[in-house]
Amino acid sequence: MRCAIVGSGLAALATYATLRHGGLRPEEIVVLGTHEDPTEVWRTRAASIRQTRMRSESEGHLAAASFPGLAVREALRRGSPAPLLRTAVNRYHPSVREFLAHAESVRRHTGWDRSFRPARVERVRAVDGGFTVDGEGPFPHVLLATGHPGLARPDDYPGAVHAYEPHEYASKVAVVGAGMAAATEWLNALDAGAEVVSIRRREPLRRPLNVPRRFFSKRGLARFHASTPELRAATLRELSNASYPPGATWDEPLRRAEAEGRFRVESSPNGTASWNGVQVIAATGFRRGFRNDPLLADLVDAHELTTHDRWIVLDPDSTVPVLTDAARTLSVAGVAAQWAFPAADTIAGAKYAARAFKRRVCRTH
């Protein structure tokens, strides 16, 4: 077996599709993960906040080749140029349903199910000839795609439901947080007829959701890679600050609800103390950093990998420098790969790591 992919989410599927496109057969790849359906974890989170449109554009797809993107696929399927016109002005956001149908088709056509094995991997070790994965192997090439290391739950709201867990809305809802999930939940709860309190310590940042374009250009990325570790970490910290996009779509419903007395902002839960049966929703994102991921923490300790703050230090091609050479590859994809690519936790980021991994695997093929 040449390759092991650890984790079985969207980044794993993007990598699998890329390797298959590069000529590897299903028998040469094993995917060891907790979910046979690679969309399950993401789909549940997106459904919980009632996301119906992708945040990404046409290129946010899982197939190996860039072309055709989702806009072309939808245009062909519907026999309508509308998706193409929208993507020409960067305003095409495929529906979640469209994206999931596409993911299902990639899963089917690539043979994912032939390579998938259910497992929660605890230990990856470098050995002669590659890496063992929970004692199995050695695999010359391994990509770790374990996703976010769990949901962040604020200590002061022990009974809260997390925004990324399935939930309905009570008639009185307090939403903790000030990012995209929080903003989505204010509108969801108001739509459901609830009275809503936004609990936040500071005014939310308003900026477009996506990591700025410059980090996708060769030159911008080269500048990021050339910066000092301190600067790089500061950039990543800044990019991970909670924010949601500017615009009337968000502001108008909130203004109306405020005028009706159905929406207000508090800096602490004190103002809601008198509420009976208030539902607290924690829109507080994910736990952060490799230390919260037992597999990554164990790997870092066992091989004394270089880290900076909460990040594993990676080469620009998303590989672990001391464990990667001409004969073997240890790659990281997803949020844990931000040191190599600031937008690692997106579908575009998954493909960045996947393509670099394929180049190394195929070099020795």
Ligand X SMILES: Cc1cc2nc3c(=O)[nH]c(=O)nc-3n(C[C@H](O)[C@H](O)[C@H](O)COP(=O)(O)OP(=O)(O)OC[C@H]3O[C@@H](n4cnc5c(N)ncnc54)[C@H](O)[C@@H]3O)c2cc1C
Instruction: Please state, as a whole number, how many other Cβ atoms lie within 10 Å of the Cβ of residue 88.
Output: 12
The residues with which 29 forms a beta bridge, in sequence order, are 3
What distance lies between CA 264 and its chain's CA centroid?
30
Binds ligand X by CB under 6 A, chosen from 240, 279, 331, 346: 346
When asked if residue 117 is in the footprint of ligand X (CB under 6 A), the reply is no
When asked if residue 256 is in the footprint of ligand X (CB under 6 A), the reply is no
Binds ligand X by CB under 6 A, chosen from 324, 334, 339, 353: 334
When asked if residue 10 is in the footprint of ligand X (CB under 6 A), the reply is yes
Asked if 4 contacts 144 with a C-beta cutoff of 8 angstroms, the reply is: no
Those residues whose C-beta lies under 8 Å from the C-beta of residue 83, and which sit 6 or more positions away, are: 58, 70, 71, 72, 74, 75, 92, 94
Site size with ligand X, rule: CB under 6 A: 35
The DSSP-derived string for 22-76 is TT--GGGEEEEES-SSTTHHHHHHHHHTT--B-SS-TT---SSSS-S-HHHHHHH
Burial of 119 from C-beta contacts in 10 A (0-12 / 13-18 / 19+): middle
When asked if residue 58 is in the footprint of ligand X (CB under 6 A), the reply is no
Could you tell me the two tokens for 190?
Answer: 């108001």
When asked if residue 8 is in the footprint of ligand X (CB under 6 A), the reply is yes
Stretch that binds ligand X, among 107-115, 262-270, 347-355, 356-364 (CB under 6 A): 347-355
Stretch that binds ligand X, among 27-35, 63-71, 73-81, 83-91 (CB under 6 A): 27-35
Stretch that binds ligand X, among 18-26, 50-58, 306-314, 317-325 (CB under 6 A): 50-58
103: helix, coil or strand? helix
Question: C-beta of 271: minimal distance to ligand X in Å?
Answer: 28
Please state, in angstroms and rounded to a whole number, the distance separating the CA atoms of residues 24 and 27.
8
When asked if residue 187 is in the footprint of ligand X (CB under 6 A), the reply is no
Question: C-beta of 53: minimal distance to ligand X in Å?
Answer: 8
Question: C-beta of 268: minimal distance to ligand X in Å?
Answer: 26
Distances (CA, A) of 222 to 285, 335, 341, 349: 29, 19, 10, 16
Rule CB under 6 A: which of 189-228 touch ligand X?
none
Binds ligand X by CB under 6 A, chosen from 183, 340, 347, 353: 347
Instruction: Please state, as a whole number, how many other Cβ atoms lie within 10 Å of the Cβ of residue 166.
Output: 10
Cβ proximity to ligand X, 60 vs 130, nearer residue: 60
Q: Which residues bind ligand X (CB under 6 A)?
A: 6-12, 32-35, 41-42, 45-46, 49, 51, 54-56, 60, 119-121, 145-148, 295, 334, 345-348, 350
